[in-house]
Amino acid sequence: EKSKSSFFSKLTKAVAGKSKVDDEVLDNLEEVLVSSDVGVDTTLKIIDRIEERVAKDKYLGTDELNKILREEIAGLLSETNSGEETEYTVPANKKPYVLMVVGVNGVGKTTTIGKLAYQFNKKGLKVVLGAADTFRAAAIDQLQVWADRVGVPIVKQNMGSDPASVAYDTLKSGVAQDADVIIIDTAGRLHNKVNLMKELTKVKKVMQKVIDDAPHDVLLVLDGSTGQNAFEQAKQFTAATEVTTLAVTKLDGTAKGGVVIGISDQFQIPVKYIGVGEGIEDLQVFNKYEFVDSFFKK
C-alpha cells in the first residue's frame, strides 16, 4: 500500500497542471508495468494512451489520474471482461456444458479443475471429470484425489491410453448421468511440440461425436509468473483448440501476471478466473480493476 500511494503521488505531482507527462513519470510507469510482465509493446501502448489523455484533460488530481490509469490499462483487457462478474456460471441452455482445460506443463490445470468442480458442485450442479492426461506420472491419481475431495465422479482409463478415447468416454458417461458440467483435464504440453498440439486438436474433435458443439469452453491456463512466452502459448493453443477463456494461476505469490493484458487485447480472449493458492477455495472470478491495482502494490 505504501508503494502504491507513493507511486500515485509521485505521478500526480509530475502531472498535475501540465499538459504533458514528463519523462521521469513515464519511466516510473514503464518500470511498474514492465516489472509486472506487461511487456514492452503493451506498456508503450498504455503510455501512449496516458499521454493522449493527459494532453486532453489538463489539470488532473490524484483521483482522476488514478482513475485514468486504471481505465486505460483495464481498457486493454478484452471487452468481454466486464470486470463485474462474481459468479461461477455456466449457460443454462447447454447441458451438459463441456469445458476442456489446456496449457503448458505445470501451470495449474489439474488444480484449477479441482477448484472449479468444487465451485460448480457447491452451486448444485452435477459435475463429471475426465482424466485425459494419461501421460504425466500419477496425473490420473492426482485428479482422482481432487474428485474425491469435491465428491464428484471421474472417468478414467489406464496410464498411456488414448486421451481422445478418455474424453469420448467422459462425454458419453456425462450424458448418461445427466451431468450439468463436464471438465476434461489434458496433459501439459509445450506449444512448440507439433504432434502434441495435433493430439489436442484430436481430443477436441472427438468430443463432437458425442455432443455437436462440445467443448463449449476451452480454458487456457497460464501461470501468473510466466513472462513474455505466454503470448506464444496463447497463440499456439488458440490455433490448435480455439481457446475461449483464460485462467491465471499462482497470483498468491509476488508475480503479477501482467502478460495477460496484452494477450487479452490481442486475441480478444477474456480472463475469467485467477488462482490464488493450492486450496480448494483458492479460485476467484477475475476482476480487472483489482488486477490492475495489484501492479501498483508492493
- Interface residues toward Mg ion, by CB under 5 A: 109-110
Q: How far is the CB of 119 from ligand GTP (least distance, A)?
A: 14
Closest CB to other proteins among residues 135, 289: 135
| Binding residue (CB under 8 A) for other proteins from 278, 281, 290, 297 | 278
Tell me how far apart the alpha carbons of residues 151 and 146 are, in angstroms, rounded to a whole number: 8
Neighbours of 107 (CB within 10 A): 26
Binding window for ligand GTP (CB under 6 A); candidates: 82-90, 120-128, 248-256, 262-270: 248-256
Q: How far is the CB of 148 from other proteins (least distance, A)?
A: 9
- The option from ligand GTP, other proteins, Mg ion, none interacting with 276 (CB < 5 to 8 A, set by class) reads ligand GTP
Binding window for other proteins (CB under 8 A); candidates: 14-22, 75-83, 115-123, 254-262: 254-262
Q: Which long-range contacts (CB under 8 A, 24 or more apart) does 241-245 make?
A: 241/100, 241/102, 241/200, 241/201, 241/204, 242/218, 243/102, 243/218, 243/219, 243/267, 243/269, 244/217, 244/218, 244/219, 244/269, 245/217, 245/218, 245/219, 245/220, 245/269, 245/270, 245/271, 245/272, 245/273
Lookup: cell for 298:
508492493
Does residue number 112 form part of the binding site for other proteins (CB under 8 A)? no
Q: How far is the CB of 25 from ligand GTP (least distance, A)?
A: 33
| Binding residue (CB under 6 A) for ligand GTP from 98, 203, 243, 276 | 276
Binding window for other proteins (CB under 8 A); candidates: 12-20, 84-92, 218-226, 261-269: 218-226
Closest CB to ligand GTP among residues 93, 158: 158
Q: In what order do the strands lie in the sheet with 217-223?
A: 154-155, 127-132, 181-186, 97-102, 217-223, 245-249, 271-275, 283-285
Interacting residues toward other proteins by CB under 8 A: 31, 34-37, 39-40, 104-108, 114, 135-138, 141-142, 144-146, 149, 190-193, 223, 225-230, 232, 250, 252-256, 259, 278
